[in-house]
Structure 1
Amino acid sequence: MKNGMKKAVIITYITIIIGNVISLMYTPFMLSKLGKAEYGLFSLVNSIVAYIYLLDLGFGNAVIRYNSKYMVEKNEDGRKKVNGMFLSLYLILGLISMIVGVIIYFNLGKIMSKSLSLDEINRTKQMFMVAIVNISLSFPLSIFNSIITAHEKFVYIKIINLLRTILNPAIMITVLLFGSRAFGMVVGSTVFNILLGLVNVIYCFKILKLKIKFAGFDKALFAEIFNYSFFVFLSAIAYQIYWNSDQLILAIFVGAAPIAIYAVSSQFNTYFLSLSNVLSSMFLPKLTKMVTVEENRNDLMRLLTKIGRIQYYICSYIFVGFVLVGKQFIVRWVGQGYSFCYVIAIILMFPQIFSIIQSLFATMLEAMNKHRVKAYIYLSIAIINILLSIVLVQKYQGLGCAIGTAIGMIINAVANNIYYKFVIKLDIKYFWMNILKLVIPTSITFGLGFLALSLFSLTSYISILMFGILFTIIYFIVFWIMGFNKYEKKIFISAVSKGRIKQ
């Protein structure tokens, strides 16, 4: 299993890199074929679908937990029954999602009538009709992915994710080349998702020898599962409100084209998160062990600070580099008409730095079973985000939504740090003093990078790449002299000499 985990981690890194590269290459092609308005409608449908998926209620994690529990206990009959209960539950959720989808379908015209034309509303409804089928079938199929995870078949899961990352855009490109537009993309994506779901079903029954027994609902067990899943569900609601509400607000108050601008800006924020958080899992086992055995809080704080500093190096490198050449890259990538994405992307990315450098604090809370308060905070801030965005969007359009989201993220970071300090009793001052020491070398790096821009005419990918190489050298030299401590220099030397980071 240890070797399998290593392979799964490697495949995950490959998937992230390939996924981001494909997305960067694929997006301009898609925008050129669809145009802003059509792409905005496509993004809008995806945003609505994301909300309906909340009907999962966090049960996916419960499937994993209870399958694992019964496997350890060697209770095969209990596992058959619980899987039968979960499959029945997901079939019901699939039916409910279809009913909810149909209700939304018949009310889309009323909801979007102020900002979308009749033709745009009809095209949105066509895409959403296919999406309803996708959602209703995805619920019962999703249980099989969770069962595979419970069996710790991580390599298989990561290979499937890699195939999804490569093949889904390939299908979209093929659809567009044959003359279909957003509707064809939704159909292609739906068929592909169903096929992958069926592959998981076959894998479960043929390879894992899965057996399911329909024996009705165990009310006591269901209550236990629901209590376990509720705060996962609450966090999922907050996440969807946070990252999918802005496009809905734009659709209601502004129109389709601004949604496309905002969607491209959000895409850079997604890249930022995926690349910045890639190291977190390497430190997760050690952190979880420390929390479980209740080691000294000072030792825990030192480890969290070490991890936070490393996360800071990664996200500050990406963020400063984007501030310097992001606008030129966007213009070269998707055209002058999307240049304003640069401003929105920066507004969304900057507050994320606070979340990224404290990303393992959330894992620590789960290990301590104190994550419910964080879920309440996240949900409250998400609601504040919606209210701010509704007020600001009417005057500033997409920029207003971005500002509302950014303010919400900053409030969220402050509230969480108050919780960490006064309830969890962590030395938050020690953490932030260590992080603030890195602001000076970051500022110097930005200044030198800004001066280096005069050496380049950033009108091609090659010139942007050449600047990126020079900026990387500048960043490394400045931080080696002024930023990295002995531990950080040691893990860098270890990574270079042995190809891995020793903890």
Structure 2
Amino acid sequence: MGETIKVTSQTKVSMRTGRKQTILNMVSSFISQLLSLGISFFLTPYIVSKLGAAAYGFFGLSNNIIGYTALLTVALNSMSGRFIAVEYHKGEYVEANRYLSSTVLANCCMAIFIVLVLGIITLFLEQILNIPQDIVLDVKFLFTLLFVNSAFGLCTGVFGMPMFIKNRYDISNTMGVCMNIFRVTLIIIAYGFFPAHLWYIGAVGLIVSIIHTAWCYYFYCKMVPEFAIRLSFFQARKVWEMVREGAWNLLSQFSSILNQGLELLLANLFIGAYYMGILSITKSLPFVILGIFAGLGCNFHPECVKYYAEGNMDSLRNLLIKGIRILGALAVIPCAGVFVLGDLFYSLWMPGQNTNLLYGLSVITMAWILTTLPTQTLWYIFTLTKTVKKSSIVLVRYGIAFVVTVIIAMLLIEDDLTKLYFVVSVQSILGIIRFMTFLPSYSSKVLGLPRYTFLKLLVGVIYTCAIVCGIGFLLKYFFIHEYSWFTLVIGALVITLVSLGVSSLTILTKTDRDFILTRILKIKKIRISA
């Protein structure tokens, strides 16, 4: 009557649970992110020196355009893991395989469609974008490789799902570390021994993706031998079920693209390739920092779910407040560092580029980054309380306001440099408004808390950062008289110590300091009795 799945081998890699595995996942994730930051730190100036800022900007732009295609699949893929994992843990392997096979086949069809559409766009790319004549073929080849890589990942992404099902993110993070090392090795070989071309980045990315997929497939076979991808398992109603549940994630992704994914495209269309490249460089560091804090914010989610499920709103409120205070104290460090030492950093990191321009754009960007880093625990509230619809609609409105304002201004402003500053400034102003008004007030509302519960904490973070910057600029004026990596490192250490000292007085409480030591740094308190 029903279909059965015959398991021919024992699962070699078991599921792990508990605090130790959570710590292992966090540590491996931190190492992976730290390595990615290091690679970006060294490779960005290396590639810019080989290709120039304008050419480098097309790498960021191509990745953004690939992100636009995610709108076609995010509703399905944002929920597929949840449906497959639930059925798997219930022991309903046939049902899990129906969801799995339906996901894979739907993604393969969508991948073919994406490649065809983007392939046609690539043929006429120089007529759509502002591309310097000498790198037109390079840019087209880069786009082609990245599009193929994206389609390949869409078809094979399910092979990484067992790490989620078995709670073995340490394996995927370890693979990420190894693949990053392999990637940087190939890039150095390509640019060190062959004439420089932009498409090397895309070629290396595709090679790394193929090897990474093969590695994931090995663990896929070992960890979930119960899984089977078959055409007979495909059910259109399964696809529709997952898409329906993930519909609001589509709107959320769309709002993210409007607010943070269109600035490079707008810069290219209305300003030019060079300034797009400069903008791409200045976005690299802030968005790496944002990614790290997003990962830190996720550490609070399990307890949020627990307290909300228990109806313990007091504990949930206290946890969220604690999260904002801790992330806020940590956020002061990189933000104050960029505000005070950004000019020194860019003069050393990007010699030959316009340091003042890079520094000015970074300061404007970090202004809104400062308001979003402490709030990384709050976004999950909308998922927790099933209020994603309202938040997504509001974010879409902000995104539309950004795009419309920029387009109108680009048609009225003549000076290219003024246009560039306007794009970054509007994005930053709207970001500050979004994170200082809607997010804290609406998250308070859905939890039944006073309107200004979270807002006053964010004001405290900004106040603290202002104090640290004041101290930092004074120390810089009196003690930093030459620009070198040594003075930059010493300056960064001083900013870190000042930030922690001031934050411990203005933001953190005693319980927060204990939480950082025992829960984040895993340092056990030692009591010494008299």
TM-score (norm: length of structure 2): 0.87
- Asked if the contact 2:444/2:454 (under 8 Å) is kept, the reply is no
Give 1:283's aligned residue.
300
1:483–1:130 distance in 2 versus 1, CA, 3 Å: closer
Task: Give, in angstroms, the shift of residue 216 of structure 1.
Answer: 5.5
Where do residues 118-197 of structure 1 align in structure 2 (5 Å cutoff)? 118-179=133-194, 180-197=196-213
- Asked if the contact 1:175/1:184 (under 8 Å) is kept, the reply is yes
Q: 1:492, 1:207 → 2: CA distance? A: 35
Alignment gaps of 5+ in structure 1: none
Give 1:364's aligned residue.
381
Q: Name the % identity.
A: 17
- Asked if the contact 2:441/2:452 (under 8 Å) is kept, the reply is no
1:494–1:257 distance in 2 versus 1, CA, 3 Å: same
- Asked if the contact 1:130/1:190 (under 8 Å) is kept, the reply is yes
1:66–1:434 distance in 2 versus 1, CA, 3 Å: closer
1:493–1:106 distance in 2 versus 1, CA, 3 Å: closer
**Residue in structure 2 matching 1:352, options 365, 369, 388:** 369
Q: 1:141, 1:409 → 2: CA distance? A: 35
Determine if the alignment matches structure 1 residue 267 to structure 2 residue 279. no
Q: 2:347, 2:187 → 1: CA distance? A: 23
Determine if the alignment matches structure 1 residue 330 to structure 2 residue 370. no
Q: How many pairs are equivalent?
A: 499
Q: Which amino acid aligns with 2:491?
A: F
1:128–1:434 distance in 2 versus 1, CA, 3 Å: closer
Task: Give, in angstroms, the shift of residue 390 of structure 1.
Answer: 2.3
Task: Give, in angstroms, the shift of residue 219 of structure 1.
Answer: 4.1
Q: 2:231, 2:103 → 1: CA distance? A: 10
Deviating more after overlay: 475-484 vs 194-203 = 475-484
Deviating more after overlay: 427-436 vs 457-466 = 427-436
Determine if the alignment matches structure 1 residue 470 to structure 2 residue 486. no
Alignment gaps of 5+ in structure 2: 1-15, 526-530
Q: 2:496, 2:354 → 1: CA distance? A: 26
1:500–1:398 distance in 2 versus 1, CA, 3 Å: farther
Q: 1:498, 1:247 → 2: CA distance? A: 41
**Residue in structure 2 matching 1:94, options 111, 117, 125:** 111
Q: Secondary structure at the match of 2:187?
A: helix
1:368–1:427 distance in 2 versus 1, CA, 3 Å: same
Task: Give, in angstroms, the shift of residue 463 of structure 1.
Answer: 0.7
Give 2:483's aligned residue.
459
Q: 1:66, 1:496 → 2: CA distance? A: 31
Where do residues 43-62 of structure 1 align in structure 2 (5 Å cutoff)? 43-62=60-79
Q: 1:237, 1:439 → 2: CA distance? A: 29
Q: Secondary structure at the match of 2:52?
A: helix
Q: Which amino acid aligns with 1:25?
A: F
Tell me the C-alpha RMSD between the 2 structures. Answer: 2.5
1:288–1:311 distance in 2 versus 1, CA, 3 Å: same
Q: Secondary structure at the match of 1:402?
A: helix
Determine if the alignment matches structure 1 residue 427 to structure 2 residue 442. no
Q: 1:418, 1:477 → 2: CA distance? A: 29
Task: Give, in angstroms, the shift of residue 309 of structure 1.
Answer: 1.0
Determine if the alignment matches structure 1 residue 315 to structure 2 residue 337. no
Q: 2:524, 2:137 → 1: CA distance? A: 54
- Could you give the per-residue CA deviations for residues 27-55 of structure 1, whole angstroms, max 9, x where no partner exists? 11111111122212333222222222333
**Residue in structure 2 matching 1:485, options 505, 509, 530:** 509
Task: Give, in angstroms, the shift of residue 380 of structure 1.
Answer: 2.2
Q: 1:309, 1:430 → 2: CA distance? A: 12
Q: Which amino acid aligns with 1:111?
A: I
Q: Which amino acid aligns with 2:499?
A: Y
Q: Secondary structure at the match of 1:309?
A: helix
Q: Which amino acid aligns with 2:321?
A: T
**Residue in structure 1 matching 2:396, options 379, 392, 397:** 379
Q: 2:322, 2:523 → 1: CA distance? A: 20
- Could you give the per-residue CA deviations for residues 413-471 of structure 1, whole angstroms, max 9, x where no partner exists? 22334433445432231322344345544433222211111212241111111122222
Q: 2:465, 2:133 → 1: CA distance? A: 50
TM-score (norm: length of structure 1): 0.92
Q: 2:389, 2:123 → 1: CA distance? A: 36
Give 1:449's aligned residue.
472
- Asked if the contact 1:385/1:407 (under 8 Å) is kept, the reply is no
Give 2:13's aligned residue.
none
Task: Give, in angstroms, the shift of residue 495 of structure 1.
Answer: 6.6
Determine if the alignment matches structure 1 residue 204 to structure 2 residue 220. yes
Q: Which amino acid aligns with 2:260?
A: W
Give 1:398's aligned residue.
420
Give 1:243's aligned residue.
260
Higher helix share: 1
- Asked if the contact 2:115/2:151 (under 8 Å) is kept, the reply is yes
Determine if the alignment matches structure 1 residue 29 to structure 2 residue 46. yes
Task: Give, in angstroms, the shift of residue 498 of structure 1.
Answer: 5.4
Deviating more after overlay: 306-315 vs 139-148 = 139-148
Deviating more after overlay: 12-21 vs 482-491 = 482-491
Q: 1:182, 1:293 → 2: CA distance? A: 54
Q: 2:506, 2:388 → 1: CA distance? A: 36
Q: 2:238, 2:295 → 1: CA distance? A: 36
Q: 2:316, 2:35 → 1: CA distance? A: 35
- Asked if the contact 1:237/1:379 (under 8 Å) is kept, the reply is yes
